[in-house]
Each structure stands twice: as structure tokens, then as C-alpha cells.
């Protein structure tokens, strides 16, 4: 497992995303990597934008490749406002954009790009985990 803590996180989305995407755990298949990047961008930007009211908090990020090399796990942990993104309703994409409620599309994209998502609230921290089968 490779991990890093970013503190404070205000205006550091790009740095956090690039650190995750440069992990040696990342696959070499560009099509798979692009899907992972989209999910990572959505999750990181949401944490940086909404977890803390003043952006002064932290996020711990990690990547881990299973022993057989077939599963990549990305974990994002913050001590911000408790929020389970998996409880968001699935957006109705059949509606025109101006008739859909704001929000929820990012987590929808994470569901589409990754194979498994989970959320836990542990020791006053949000822990969001994304897995991709490689």
C-alpha cells in the first residue's frame, strides 16, 4: 500500500489527483487508467470542495494492488463533514439537464468507471473506497 496525507487541501485537487495517478499501483492500460482517473477526479474534487467548510482539513489517499495484481484499491479518508455519497439517488438521465436536480452525477460516474464503491464512517472519518478489476 502506498499512501500520503495532504494538509491543508484547499486548492490542491490537481496535486492530489496527480499523486494518485502516478502511483506504481496504476495499470498500464490507458483505457482502464482513463476510467480510473475520471473516478478519482470526481471523488477528490468533491472532498476538497465539500468536506471542510474552510478547506483547512486533510485527506489521506492510498492505492493498493492485490497480491495477484488483478484489483486496484483506492482509498480516500477525510475528517470532514460526514457524508455518504452512495446514498445519493441515481440521477435520471432521461430528463433534460435543466430538469435534473443538481448533484449526484459525479458519484454516478464513479459507479460507471469503477467495479466496487464503498463508504464507511470510522473514528470520525469518512472513508471512501473504490476498486477496479484489472
Residue range 45-62, pLDDT digits in tens: 999 999 998 878 999 999
Given a cut of 80, whether residue 97 has pLDDT beyond it is no
Position 112 scores a pLDDT of 93
Grid-cell match 482509498, residue found = 75
Domain that holds residue 99: 2-133
User: What pTM does this model have?
Assistant: 0.90
Q: Where residue 68 sits, what CATH number does that domain have?
A: 3.30.565.10
Count the Cβ atoms, other than its own, within 10 Å of residue 40: 24
Q: Is the model's pLDDT at 115 over the cut of 80? A: yes
> Where residue 87 falls among pLDDT bands split at 50, 70, 90?
confident
Task: Using the CB atoms, write b or e for 8-28: b if 16+ within 10 Å.
Answer: ebeebbeebbebbeebebbee
**95 DSSP 8-state letter:** S
Tell me the Ramachandran region of residue 100: left when phi exceeds 0, alpha when psi lies from -120 to 50, beta otherwise: beta
Q: Do residues 91 and 104 make contact, with C-beta atoms less than 8 angstroms apart?
A: yes
Q: Quick one: pLDDT band at residue 94, thresholds 50, 70, 90?
A: low
Least confident span in 11-25, 48-62, 80-94, 109-123: 80-94
DSSP 91: P
pLDDT attached to residue 57: 94
Distance CA 132, CA 116 (A): 7
pLDDT at 102: 61
pLDDT at 105: 66
Count how many domains the chain has.
Answer: 1
Position 95 pLDDT exceeds 60: no
Which set of grid coordinates corresponds to residue 9? 487541501
> How far apart, in whole angstroms, are the C-alpha atoms of residue 118 and residue 12?
24
Using CA atoms, how far residue 9 sits from 78, 106, 127, in Å, is: 10, 19, 16
pLDDT of residue 106: 76
Amino acid at each position: 500500500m502506498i499512501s500520503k496525507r495532504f494538509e491543508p487541501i484547499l486548492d490542491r485537487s490537481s496535486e492530489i489527483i496527480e499523486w494518485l495517478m502516478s502511483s506504481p499501483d496504476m495499470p498500464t492500460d490507458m483505457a482502464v487508467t482513463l476510467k480510473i482517473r475520471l473516478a478519482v477526479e470526481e471523488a477528490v474534487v468533491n472532498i476538497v470542495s465539500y468536506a471542510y467548510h474552510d478547506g483547512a482539513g486533510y485527506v489521506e489517499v492510498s492505492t493498493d494492488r492485490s497480491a495477484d495484481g488483478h484489483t486496484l484499491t483506492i482509498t480516500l479518508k477525510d475528517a470532514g463533514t460526514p457524508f455518504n455519497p452512495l446514498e445519493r439517488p441515481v440521477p435520471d438521465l432521461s430528463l433534460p439537464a435543466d430538469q435534473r436536480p443538481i448533484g449526484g452525477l459525479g458519484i454516478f460516474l464513479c459507479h460507471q468507471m469503477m467495479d466496487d464503491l464503498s463508504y464507511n464512517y470510522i473514528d470520525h472519518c469518512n472513508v471512501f473506497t473504490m476498486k477496479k478489476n484489472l
